[in-house]
């Protein structure tokens, strides 16, 4: 059955996709595809074993401390950490930090953004849950998960332990890191996934029902075009597109 579903996913071009995760990655994949860079090199920091590769559909270098199954053939796995990337300056065209900073201490967030800007030549993309409303939702969902499964959900636990950053916090980290490496930039910030929509999707993610789980993981793909329009305020996540300016632009 699983093999059959994977075959169907490959035919539809959604192999290894998950609807909730697709909403996080597709805006970033679109931005990279629209760039004027031919065959861009892409690094995703904290990619896990899948990351953006299934949605971008090109080779991506992924850095993480551990890579679990399932893996994706277009992801080149490199063991490392966000705070000390094993690459030289300006090594990649695009460097992505997607839902990583909320799992780090404030000091490590500073190092991770600095490292991303150091190894990127054209653009850094930072996607991160932001603000008090997002943090409050995480606390409520964490409580629901613990009541249902009698244990903490590690990802949400780290969000709560370290606290979610504010919009201004991320902007300051980007500005300081860019100044450190003498890089001028244009910043574009976009909201990503309305809080109410995200709550609905997360409850589907946490279900104990096999039928509901299949619906949210497989059938829900047909609603992705509609859900991609649900980026109206208040949003759970913000995506910071940091595009570097060449000296010729001044």
Task: Give residue-wise pLDDT tens across range 131-156.
Answer: 999 999 999 999 999 998 989 888 89
Number of domains in the chain: 1
Does any domain span residue 2?
Answer: no
| pLDDT score of 221 | 81
Maximum separation of any 2 CA atoms in the chain, in Å: 58
In the prediction, which pLDDT does 64 show?
96
Confidence of residue 246 (pLDDT cuts 50, 70, 90): confident
Per the document, the length of the chain is 250
pLDDT digits (tens, 9 = 90+) for 2-50: 565 556 556 556 666 688 899 999 999 999 999 988 899 999 999 999 9
> Does any domain span residue 101?
yes
Domain harbouring 167, CATH code: 3.40.50.150
User: What's the confidence (pLDDT) of residue 2?
Assistant: 54
The pLDDT value given to residue 186: 97
- What pLDDT band is residue 167 in, cutting at 50, 70 and 90? very high
3-state secondary structure of 149: helix
Rounded to the nearest integer, the mean pLDDT of the chain is 91
Structure tokens at 147: 């009541």
pLDDT score recorded for residue 9: 56
Task: Kindly report the pTM of this predicted structure.
Answer: 0.92
**Is residue 3 a part of any domain in this protein?**
no
Cα–Cα dist 98/238, whole Å: 10
- Residues whose CB falls within 8 Å of the CB of residue 208, separated by 6 or more in sequence, listed in order: 148
Q: Report yes or no on 121 lying in a domain.
A: yes
- pLDDT (0 to 100) of residue 8: 52
Q: Residue 4 domain-assigned?
A: no
What range does the domain containing 31 cover? 18-249
pLDDT tens-digit series, residues 86-141: 999 999 999 999 999 999 999 999 999 999 999 999 999 999 999 999 999 999 99
Decide: 53 and 35 in contact? Cβ < 8 Å: no
pLDDT confidence of residue 247:
41
> What is the DSSP secondary structure assignment for residue 92, as one 8-state letter?
E
248 pLDDT band (50/70/90 cuts)? very low
Three-state SS at 218: coil
pLDDT at res. 250: 32
Instruction: Convert the pLDDT of each residue in 57-92 to its tens digit.
Output: 999 999 999 998 888 999 999 999 999 999 999 999
ω into residue 145 within 30 of 0, thus cis?
no
Q: What is the CA radius of gyration of the chain?
A: 18
User: Is residue 233 in a domain?
Assistant: yes
Confidence of residue 214 (pLDDT cuts 50, 70, 90): confident
Task: Give the C-alpha separation, 72 to 57, whole Å.
Answer: 10
Residue 249 scores a pLDDT above 50: no
pLDDT for 192 equals: 97
Residue in 160, 191, 241, 222 with CA at minimum distance from that of residue 14: 222
């Amino acid at each position: 059955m699983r093999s059959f579903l994977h075959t169907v996913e490959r035919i539809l071009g959604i192999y290894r996709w998950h609807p909730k995760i697709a909403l996080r990655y597709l805006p970033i994949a679109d931005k990279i595809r629209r760039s004027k860079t031919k065959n861009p090199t892409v690094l995703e920091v904290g990619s896990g074993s899948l990351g953006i590769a299934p949605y971008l559909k090109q080779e991506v270098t992924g850095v993480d401390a551990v890579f679990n199954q399932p893996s994706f053939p277009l992801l080149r796995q490199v063991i490392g950490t966000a705070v000390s990337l094993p690459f030289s300056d300006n090594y990649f065209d695009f460097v992505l930090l997607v839902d990583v900073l909320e799992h780090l201490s404030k000091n490590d967030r500073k190092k991770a953004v600095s490292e991303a800007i150091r190894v990127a030549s054209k653009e850094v993309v930072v996607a991160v849950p932001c603000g008090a409303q997002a943090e409050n939702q995480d606390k409520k969902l964490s409580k629901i998960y613990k009541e249902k499964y009698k244990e903490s959900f590690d990802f949400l636990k780290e969000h709560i332990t370290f606290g979610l950053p504010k919009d201004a916090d991320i902007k300051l980290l980007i500005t300081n890191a860019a100044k450190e490496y003498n890089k001028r930039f244009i910043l574009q910030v976009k909201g990503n996934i309305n809080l109410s929509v995200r709550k609905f999707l997360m409850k589907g993610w946490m279900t104990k029902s096999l039928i509901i789980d299949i619906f949210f993981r497989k059938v829900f793909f047909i609603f992705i075009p509609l859900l991609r329009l649900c980026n109206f305020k208040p949003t759970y996540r913000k995506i910071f597109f940091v595009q570097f300016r060449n000296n010729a632009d001044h």
